Amino acid sequence: MSEMTKEQTEALIQEVLEVYPEKAQKERAKHLTVNDQSVEKSSKCITSNRKSLPGVMTIRGCAYAGSKGVVWGPVKDMVHVSHGPVGCGQYSRAGRRNYYVGNTGVDTFGTMNFTSDFQEKDIVFGGDKKLAKIVDEIDMLFPLAKGISIQSECPIGLIGDDIEAVAKTKSKETGKTIVPVRCEGFRGVSQSLGHHIANDAIRDWVIDPATGKEFASTEYDVTIIGDYNIGGDAWASRILLEEMGLRVIAQWSGDGTLAEMENTPKAKLNLLHCYRSMNYISRYMEEKFGVPWMEYNFFGPTKIEESLRAIAAQFDDKIKEGAERVIEKYKPQWQAVVDKYRPRLEGKRVMLYVGGLRPRHIIGAYEDLGMEVVGTGYEFAHNDDYDRTINEMGNATLIYDDVTGYEFEEFVKRVKPDLIGSGIKEKYIFQKMGIPFRQMHSWDYSGPYHGYDGFAIFARDMDMTLNNPCWDSMTPPWKKLGEETAIAAE
Amino acid sequence: MPNVMLRYNDKGELLFYVAKKDLEEVITSIETDDGASWGGTVELSNGDRFFIDPISPPPEFPTTLRFKRG
Ligand code: SF4
């Protein structure tokens, strides 16, 4: 915060904490901090991945959301059954806007909701028979589905159904990949454990059984891991990699397929965008198959350029030249975007509160537009994410972990950012407070934001939101009149 | 007895990673690493110490090994 010093920010945190009872105060204090770039390890200043306190408004989701919604859901040629009552799947259906190509209901199933719709009798007598029947039905109705994943909702774990056994028998019968995922919502403290469980399920039920499958690989095979193709993100990233001469053999999991996942261990390099949700499987592939992985960032021209060069450095001169060519080619394109929008956005201050990656990855894109991120925080990050955040953020800026509704509002009132980027649950509160807001989980029905093409859309969206004429109409006309008369009377 | 994933980082240093603890630190010193065997007490950049019975021949990284708190 350019105009706030470290002491002021610290005082602000103290003030906000004051209303809590003593015990809660102590607990929450660990999750709020003032950024200090000289700190090497985030564990010295912030605690993360802990259970949210009862009574506060947390914005987190559940393990089922992390597995079905994030990791598995976008795998387009598989049917993902929300196993349990109907609500968990129906209320989250198609909300993340993972784009894909295909005929929905024929060979792709991304936006459909499949559920075993548990009733009382399934809870009392167990749902394994029903699950077996569902698998048969799916096999009959959707013969082009390449596989099925069973995404457990809370009751499955509670009543002790044996979905693994059903998966095994049915997989033999149908000859298709059937993956039981133990991602019951009560596991862990947030959706983060759901990612991990989903990664482990991919390891055990997809990658390992497919070892030895034939695949004609080349020297230039890479994969995009942890890109969910929100609004087309993965496509905007993929074209850059392909233009520099690489071959993208898999997208995880936006617009991805089962076959692509199976082929991933044959890649030369795994490119990891969302570290939080897919580092587990990347580490596994490195250890088991010797496929190295690296993190990259395709938000905003500065970071894209850095990332393209870092990726190219892993390959021969042909790719290195390719990277330079791509960087040169797109320079006029993004320069025009910066020239157009930077004067309109320069100096604006942003507060972010998103999931597990964007609170740090997107900072560069804002900086390219002359904006400053003055506060950031994650819903479900771990300390390795905060380690990666400290250097991206300015000194004396606010960092908040699993921020509560109350804290976030108070911070905003005091820091007075020009723009907030967060989720749908926060959106209307802040808009009603008169602060421009972008929903940064699914890009507010826009996107893509990755890559050079995405940057142009990102810049336009930020401008559209910040400089919208509606913000001048926050004071009703009669109050404005009052002001004027007051001035006139003086 | 945590399960530890060991891998090299970009700088060629050996990283000590415990998923459950979000612990990702560089190994700063290791008791035995003489080409014939690898192990003993390891010290991490944050000062933590762990122990593993020396393995010979030395393991190939990346790999997962079980360490004891030392
Ligand atoms: S917590 Fe349980 S019941 Fe709620 S959405 Fe998640 S899986 Fe469903």
Q: Do A283 and B5 touch (CB under 8 A)?
A: yes
- Whether this model's ipTM surpasses 0.85 comes out as no
Which residue has the CA at smallest separation from atom 1 of ligand 1?
Answer: A185
CA dist A17 and A33 (Å) reads 12
Q: Answer yes or no: pTM beyond 0.95.
A: no
CA dist B51 and B31 (Å) reads 9
Residues of A recognised as catalytic: 62, 65, 96, 195
Output Rg (C-alpha) for chain B, integer angstroms: 11
pLDDT at residue A115 is higher than 60:
yes
Which of A51, A52, A60, A62 gets mutated to test ligand 1 (max ligand atoms within 8 A of its CB)? A62
- The pLDDT value recorded for residue A360 is 96
Q: Is the dihedral of CA A58, A440, A12, A468 positive or negative?
A: negative
CA dist A145 and A136 (Å) reads 12
Domain boundaries of chain B, sorted by first residue: 3-69
CA dist A352 and A416 (Å) reads 13
CB A454 within 8 A of CB A460: no
pLDDT band for A250, please (50, 70, 90 cuts): very high
Which residue has the CA at smallest separation from atom 5 of ligand 1?
Answer: A88
CB A450 within 8 A of CB A233: yes
CB A468 within 8 A of CB A438: no
CA dist B51 and B70 (Å) reads 5
CA dist A34 and A32 (Å) reads 7
- Of the candidates A265, A266, A235, A240, the one whose C-alpha atom is nearest the C-alpha of residue A251 is A235
pLDDT at residue A485 is higher than 60:
no
- Answer whether CATH 2.160.20.10 is correct for domain B3-69: no
CA dist A277 and A71 (Å) reads 7
pLDDT in tens, B8-61: 988 889 999 988 887 888 999 999 998 889 999 999 988 899 999 999 899 989
